[in-house]
Amino acid sequence: MIKVVFFAALREQLDCSELMLNSKNISTIADLKRQLASKSEQWQALFSNTLLLSAVNHDMVNSEQKIKSGDEVAFFPPVTGG
């Protein structure tokens, strides 16, 4: 299983802060995004946003990053702290 967490505006727009996904057929961040986008038209629209950032086990990664069962993957908008 892969734990997926969402933050800030994305979390609110999805109305979801986290979910668990079977890691079968998912080997990269891009695969995971495709699977999440297939949930609904709204999820499709939100996950086609190219500004969306992703992290695996608390490290920022790009879409080619490999993922495996047990990983925690996060998706969030560009950060605005400071």
Partner 1 sequence: MTNNTFPEISIQTADFSLADEVALLEQNNAIDGAIVTFTGRVRNHNNGMNVSGLTLEHYPGMTEKSLAKIITIAKTRWHIGRVKVIHRIGELNIGEQIVFVGVTSKHRQDAFAANEFIMDFLKVQAPFWKKERTEQGEAWLDAKATDDTKAQKW
Give me the helices (H) in the chain, please: 8-14, 29-37, 41-47
Residue with tokens 């879409």: 63
Footprint of partner 1 on 63-82 (CB under 8 A): 74, 76-82
Q: Which is nearer to partner 1, 3 or 39 (CB)?
A: 3
User: In this chain, which stretch among 4-12, 18-26, 27-35, 37-45 interacts with partner 1, using CB under 8 A?
Assistant: 4-12
Sheet with 18-21, strands from edge to edge, namely: 18-21, 2-6, 72-76, 53-56, 59-61
d(CA 42, CA 55): 22
Which residue from 3, 5, 23, 43 is in contact with partner 1, where contact means CB under 8 A? 5
- The residue (of 8 and 45) whose beta carbon lies closer to partner 1 is 8
Which residue in 1, 19, 45, 60 binds partner 1 (CB under 8 A)? 60
